[in-house]
Structure 1
Amino acid sequence: MKRTTYYNAVPQMQEQWPIKKALTLSDVDITHPFLTLSRQQVDTHIVVYMTPQQQDNLRAENQVGFNAQDDDTGEMYVMKLKWRGSYYNLIGKWGKVVRGKGLDVGQEIKLRWLNGCLHFSVPQQQIVAVAVPPPVRMVTAPIVQDHWPIRKILTSSDVDPNHPFLPLPRKSVEEHILVQWPPQERERLRKEEHVSLNTRDYDTGDTHGMKLKWQGNYYNLIGKWGNIIRHKGLGVGQEIRLRWSNNCLYFSVQEEQYVATASGQDNWPIKKALTLSDVDTNHPFLTLPGKAVEDHILFYWAHQAREQLRNEHQVGINARDDDTGDLYVMKLKWRVSYYNLIGKWGKIIREKRLHVGREIRVRWESGCLVFSVPQ
Structure 2
Amino acid sequence: MKRTNYYNVASQLQDQWPIRKALTLSDVDITHPFLTLPRQQVETYIVVYMNPQQQEHLRAEGQVGINAQDDDTGDMYIMKLKWRGSYYNLIGKWGKVVRGKGLDVGQEIKLRWSNSCLHFSVPQQPIGPVPPVPVPPVRMIAAPLVHDHWPIRKVLTSSDVDPNHPFLPLPRKSVEENILVHWVPQERERLRKEEHVSINARDYDTGESHEMKLKWRGNYYNLIGKWGNIIRHKGLGVGQEIRLRWTNNCLYFSVQEERFAAAAASGHDNWPVKKALTLSDVDINHPFLTLPGKAVEDHILFYWTHQAREQLRDEHQVGINARDDDTGDVYVMKLKWRGSYYNLIGKWGKIIREKRLHVGREIRVRWDNGCLVFSVPQ
TM-score normalised by L of structure 1: 0.64
Shift of 1:170: 10
2:250 partner letter: C
Q: Deviations over 1:151-204 (max 9, x none)?
A: 9xxxxxxxxx9xxxx99999987964569xxxxxx9xx9xxxx9964135899x
Determine the structure 2 residue equivalent to 1:83.
83
Contact 1:8 1:271 in 2 (8 A): no
Determine the structure 1 residue equivalent to 2:257.
none
Instruction: Please state if 1:71 is matched with 2:71.
Output: yes
Aligned pair in 2 of structure 1 residues 199, 39: CA closer, same or farther (>3 Å)? farther
Q: Deviations over 1:302-328 (max 9, x none)?
A: 444334333433222211122222221
SS at match of 1:370: strand
Determine the structure 2 residue equivalent to 1:100.
100
Q: Deviations over 1:128-148 (max 9, x none)?
A: 5599xx879xxxxxxx9x967
2:317 partner letter: Q
Determine the structure 2 residue equivalent to 1:370.
373
SS at match of 1:349: helix
TM-score normalised by L of structure 2: 0.64
Contact 1:200 1:250 in 2 (8 A): yes
Correspondence list, 1:23-42, <5 A: 23-25=24-26, 27-29=28-30, 33-42=33-42
SS at match of 1:96: helix
Shift of 1:59: 0.5
Aligned pair in 2 of structure 1 residues 211, 323: CA closer, same or farther (>3 Å)? closer
- Give the aligned length: 308
Correspondence list, 1:113-128, <5 A: 113-127=113-127
Unpaired segments ≥5 residues, structure 2? 135-145, 154-166, 191-195, 216-220, 232-242, 255-261
SS at match of 1:292: helix
Determine the structure 2 residue equivalent to 1:274.
277
Aligned pair in 2 of structure 1 residues 275, 202: CA closer, same or farther (>3 Å)? farther
Instruction: Please state if 1:309 is matched with 2:312.
Output: yes
Aligned pair in 2 of structure 1 residues 71, 206: CA closer, same or farther (>3 Å)? farther
Determine the structure 1 residue equivalent to 2:251.
249
SS at match of 2:246: strand
Shift of 1:281: 2.2
In structure 2, distance between residues paired with 1:46 and 1:320: 32
Determine the structure 2 residue equivalent to 1:20.
21
Contact 1:28 1:105 in 2 (8 A): no
1:273 partner letter: A
Determine the structure 2 residue equivalent to 1:344.
347
Shift of 1:341: 1.0
- Root-mean-square deviation (CA, aligned residues, Å) is 4.8
Over the matched positions of the two proteins, sequence identity in percent amounts to 73
Correspondence list, 1:1-375, <5 A: 9-10=5-6, 16-25=17-26, 27-29=28-30, 33-127=33-127, 176=182, 197-199=199-201, 208-210=210-212, 224=224, 243-250=245-252, 264=266, 266-375=269-378
Higher helix share: 1
SS at match of 1:118: strand
SS at match of 2:326: coil
In structure 1, distance between residues paired with 2:197 and 2:366: 49
Higher RCO structure, 1 or 2 (CA under 8 Å, sep 6+): 1
Aligned pair in 2 of structure 1 residues 69, 248: CA closer, same or farther (>3 Å)? same
2:294 partner letter: K
Unpaired segments ≥5 residues, structure 1? 1-6, 137-143, 152-160, 180-185, 214-220, 232-240, 253-259
Shift of 1:263: 8.3
SS at match of 1:346: helix
In structure 2, distance between residues paired with 1:355 and 1:202: 47
Aligned pair in 2 of structure 1 residues 122, 244: CA closer, same or farther (>3 Å)? same
Shift of 1:223: 8.6
In structure 2, distance between residues paired with 1:314 and 1:88: 26
Aligned pair in 2 of structure 1 residues 44, 200: CA closer, same or farther (>3 Å)? farther
Aligned pair in 2 of structure 1 residues 93, 174: CA closer, same or farther (>3 Å)? closer
Shift of 1:124: 1.9
In structure 1, distance between residues paired with 2:116 and 2:276: 21
Aligned pair in 2 of structure 1 residues 169, 342: CA closer, same or farther (>3 Å)? closer
Shift of 1:78: 3.0
Runs of 4+ in 1 over 6 A off after TM superposition: 11-15, 148-151, 166-175, 225-228, 260-263
SS at match of 1:44: helix
In structure 2, distance between residues paired with 1:169 and 1:307: 30
